[in-house]
Structure 1
Amino acid sequence: MSQAHNHDPTIPRGALIGAAVLLTFTMVLTGAVSWGWIPQSANPELSRAAEQVAPAEKRNLNFADREDGAVIISDAATQDIVKVIAYGEGGFVRATMRRMAKTRAASGIGSEQPFTLIRWENGALSLHDPATGKNAEIHGFGADHSTTFAEMLKEPSA
């Protein structure tokens, strides 16, 4: 003989209310930081300014797409090719540049003005867009990504 079991798949009301409260709190807190009502706790630009960390090394770079899907990175002053990233490679560099290019496009700015790659005295790397004032902090994404960008600071050996 079989016994009747209650297999009610509903979630307890208290759990739903708790999840809704947590989600609402998270969204309000995120919005407050985004809109500047609450200061960001870890802002590299502000930290560098407060600690008076100066640039140790800079290089102005242009990024261009080639017809075969490769990205050509060149020195803005000499036009020398610094690096070629083949199609399907360099996902982090491509994503970083895509995000920065999108910001330029939204502001109606073209790709003529170079980006500035900076190594700071504390070893951190950032990519600055003088056209928009935006920065991409490279060091926060791991050693491999930092190494990829750090190689772009080196002058080619003769």
Structure 2
Amino acid sequence: MSLHHDHAEPSPKAPLLVIAAIAALSLALAASASFGLVERDAVPNVSRAAAGTQANAIRSLTFADAPDGAVLIDDGTTGERIVRVEPGTGGFIRSTVRSLVHIRRSQGISARTPFTLTRWDDGSLTLSDPTTGRALELGGFGDDNRAVFAALLPEEAA
């Protein structure tokens, strides 16, 4: 008794071509973001003036690391200390600022140049870097994380 199987049957080519096309497209999109051809930000930076939105609270902020690991947040105009974020706390502030500072370092820009925190009349909150043009819409990270930055605005504006 002989069990002979013919393995010379051709594979369907259409599904294989579709899989290859999807893989190639994925690689091309990832590479375009890596090379700066496509913005990496999840929320596009739309001109607020074009959208008819006005700023109703603005504060210039500087962020610095203390020797003990704390993050020092100062008013970028007056130099007044706003808050000291103790080591092991403030994870959202740390990660948000770290991502913006990383972009600055890659372009040779000082980390001490102030960032701008803006609350708009539509209630949205933006942390922007005027030196690189990058802006993060903080509402997209949830109410609790947005509130952490909203607390950095002056009392009468918060």
Length-normalised TM-score, structure 1: 0.74
Query: Judging changes above 3 Å, is the alpha-carbon distance between structure 1 residues 85 and 17 closer, same or farther for their aligned structure 2 residues?
Result: farther
* 2:92 is equivalent to residue 96 of structure 1: no
The residue aligned with 2:139 is 139
| Deviation readout 1:45-98 (Å, 9 max, x if unpaired) | 24x343221211100011111011000101122222212111111111111111
CA distance in 2, matches of 1:105, 1:96: 15
Amino acid across the alignment from 1:63: F
Amino acid across the alignment from 1:151: A
CA distance in 2, matches of 1:17, 1:35: 26
CA distance in 2, matches of 1:80, 1:104: 23
SS state of the match for residue 45, structure 1? coil
Length-normalised TM-score, structure 2: 0.74
The residue aligned with 2:153 is 153
CA distance in 2, matches of 1:146, 1:84: 18
Query: Judging changes above 3 Å, is the alpha-carbon distance between structure 1 residues 54 and 19 closer, same or farther for their aligned structure 2 residues?
Result: same
Question: Do the aligned partners of 2:64 and 2:112 also contact (CA within 8 Å) in 1?
Answer: no
Question: Do the aligned partners of 2:70 and 2:84 also contact (CA within 8 Å) in 1?
Answer: yes
The residue aligned with 1:82 is 82
CA distance in 2, matches of 1:51, 1:103: 27
* 2:154 is equivalent to residue 130 of structure 1: no
Q: Structure 1 stretches of 5 or more lacking a match?
A: 1-11
| Deviation readout 1:100-126 (Å, 9 max, x if unpaired) | 111111111112321110111111111
Amino acid across the alignment from 1:52: G
Question: Do the aligned partners of 2:43 and 2:137 also contact (CA within 8 Å) in 1?
Answer: no
Between the two structures, name the one with larger relative contact order (CA 8 Å, sep ≥ 6): 2
Q: Structure 2 stretches of 5 or more lacking a match?
A: 1-10
CA distance in 1, matches of 2:142, 2:66: 27
CA distance in 2, matches of 1:20, 1:28: 12
Across the two proteins, how many residue pairs are aligned to each other?
Answer: 141
The residue aligned with 2:69 is 69
Question: Do the aligned partners of 2:115 and 2:129 also contact (CA within 8 Å) in 1?
Answer: yes
Percent identity among equivalent residues? 35
CA distance in 1, matches of 2:50, 2:27: 29
CA distance in 1, matches of 2:69, 2:23: 41
CA distance in 2, matches of 1:155, 1:44: 27
